[in-house]
Structure 1
């Protein structure tokens, strides 16, 4: 009932006020005690053993039940205090125990009782299906205000019938509300094929109470992927979790209802890919956050505890079927069985009419120029080849065509295509590819592109994506003193690239000589040559080289953000191109120059994990070592240095790296390791 008041005199306050008295009150009251069963988990981290306390829900005969009571009111002396508790098996007479305070003034009391399948002295004989009730009489409390029993319980484990399903998910995009993730509840009628959104982790739910012994219990589910026969598989860890669900059988006042009901959740990040695609990718900002469980490393593979900035993914395509298989070992009928759930990935397709780089949408079309169309729809990536999608083109003047867009590269999920716009006052429908090679339109026309995504997140199933643009009345004329037409496209493209590269070399030379005005002209001419190349030959296969040159221009000008954009375009959209590894390295360099050191580290690690055979790996490891050394994370820097020596023992920088290892250990105060490193 006491009130503790704290006061402070603020001598100088705003508005010229002085000596302002500030007070706050704290009321003293009784604590509402709690009782719970617990157990311990021990894990080795480095050279230490770490103890973790777990909520206990089920035991097997022969296991120990630890009882914990929290009641700060009962810390009444300077010594370790004790309180009485009771253990009641089913409806039997209570067994009285005494719980001791964990240490002076902790207010936390613990005792324990061992169980046994047979009658043994000092042990509680139990059998499958029994309930062990725990009781503590709370003498002083706020609610209900008088002596009151606080209770909990533990089940003796018995076989239960499990259930497993792939959780149906939807990723809903709305112009008004943005993006929304939806996890659907258990359907009234089981579905033969569940649908899960590509943008969200593949989520598996298992209900199996006999496996939920404590709050850290986990199970393993196998996910098999393939179109007809499974071509690949991963093991997924599923953990006790109440995420994406609601209690069904647990008492309303039971806190960890997922533990009571035996509900496990496991999630896997998805990535477009086939059997030969990388199973680990950089852990970027675009990936899901807080994935539950995750993929279990294959036997014999050890997770890196210090430098791993990658994440394990499940590669699949829109044609693949994912099968979640859980082996329910203990069932009431006595026979174990494998529970399966099947699902297929879905995504919403989006369509845009863009510029030559297939980036931002344009606002107007011009006769004589090209129409650039982009569709993004991951579930239309159905094979290891570059797949196709169809788009309908309609104009107000009567043009009607069905055009095909090709995937930019295998497993990109992005489809592009370009078509010339010819000036024809009376278009002939459905003649593209026969007598005509372009879409027929005219000044002032209205063009509509439509893509129908038959499998999507919407309830209706099919989602229609439409883009509409007007055709400009007139266009700007261009005159040039000289032009040359190449019948051979490859020759034309090579020539344009050589022109742009020549301007780049001139730009560097003039800049070195201090002739800034000439350098600026070279830069403008080089960029114009690249822009003309993109407009004349918009095939995506030329984009990596174009962006690589643009990145080099920007780096020389110290325009780091432009350089980052150019190199990111290559590594994101064309990771299999021959320039991708170099672009990844230059991206990391640009981040460093821009003083975005964390992004630079991620880019270097991405290069090492994505392109492990690149000749740039040695330089990458040197840069990673430097990052951790500058950040005074000396032990990790030493670890990186050690791996460098192992892999590049004859490298010209190996002696200096060996010395750096010794420096790292010395600065980390690990003098013995420092001495060993200097001796070596």
Structure 2
């Protein structure tokens, strides 16, 4: 019998995979364009790290506008989407994430991350049913990744918020269990990360039961701990367990594996019966403690990274490298610090270039060919391991955080011999040789910061200017969004007049932006149309909302919001009772190629036919509804609506008293779409089918499952009545016998 014993080092919430890192795939762009796009992306990252978020977002957007086919466009969209999500601009975030999670993007990691973020967006919006569908797709399409584990977590959180505590527990149990079977075993552990142990042993899994299997973990510095591995799911051949690690003096038996940088870790469990019938054979795996170093220029508290340093003041340096913590004392490392300056194209000409303090200047700088630098000064600086905050005097030091400073002196003046000379706009570069790391060879780690005048509290760049007009329209749109949200709150509270007042104020702000700046900025005009349709829809002015959607489609046929506009137009018609008109709009949306909203439109077609059948009392429409739901399920089997469509199909068969077909569909819904919002209805109708088929014990089982899993469902009261009636009938039958 084949058995496998693996040790994994967990990074954040995922599994460390030590295979060759996949290279970012190329697009149709030229190498020159790709290089320029990457320069823009890096410029955006620098602004982002310096806290200049609007400038960073403009630079990311410039990657899309100037290099629309570059391979770096996907990463730019991913970064923009995450910032939109943080700002709770969910529509904008969803648009970016969906454009990353496409087949054209050959970077699996980016697609998995973006797909997860789509699910998180729906979770944050409170649209849990939509979130379930997206998160289940992540689990199915990206198994063995951190994204799959995170998806289980958010599924559990969503069920918890819905009061489905049993489902939440099942989802939470799966967090951390998604491991890529092709992943290599870890030979190294980054100290401070969680150590995971995986045992693949079918015999051992059968013997483990609820007690699990005890594994011993020892370090060469003297710590010894035990952890317990459990089957990932009942009966599974794979057992897993984990233990927290940290730098520190060994304290055997405290449940934490303390390490130092020179440690080796031995993990042992007892194989009670091997394939060749040997008993109680110890199985051992050894791994080495290492650390991928991180180099930063930080603030004076050695807490936050900064993107600039101030001339005539000290620069604060930090290197985090856990494998250089080799004793209980404050260990030391050495870094190279240098100042560099861009070589002028014509050093004899008068320098007229201004500092790149505006976004436009940053764009221009990034567009240029890669600059050539000359080294102005260079020093070697000792960094000392920093004691833990609040540590007692004389206590052992095991932080792996090495800090130091170096003064920046103005070139041309007589400097302190220990200082490094520079001028404004020079680059301060820190270089560190990471000799031992998770890779197979030493790696040089670098970071840079720009030399500026002024201060860093807050970070201010000399002569920085803000585009007043740009600031005005962005402020106006934010004001409009805020007023609309306040109106929504008043509306939810039933304060109609106050809500209407806020909506009107929001319209005034938005229309002012459209009149003043729309002609000059088409992207801005597009945003105002989207904003106005949302305001009209919130006001229940459905006619004007639909009109704005039509105007958006006419003026911006390639807008990413066209899908949303069509869906909203269909929903407006559906809400007004114009079902045939709504069906026509929804069919247009279904016909759009690769539209992420097509499944919702396909499902809505079925709903419209159902409502036509009810209002016109014509059974033919119910047949049309069945065909629409069937088409939705078959065309979009992995969509959020697939499970609900399947449930509707089963209800149709139930209404026709075709109970066998109904049961088949109910069972498929329970197995494949356990997060569907209609699962309580599925369980209820499943039980009713079984009652009709005289399978009363099985029916009671389904009703009890509904009662325990969905206690807040409106179906529970009827389910309880049916169960009580069945129990009374069984009791009466027993008495008669």
Q: TM-score, structure 2 length as denominator?
A: 0.31
Higher strand proportion? 1
- The one of the two structures with greater contact order (alpha-carbon pairs below 8 A, sep at least 6) is 2
Q: TM-score, structure 1 length as denominator?
A: 0.33
Larger radius of gyration: 1
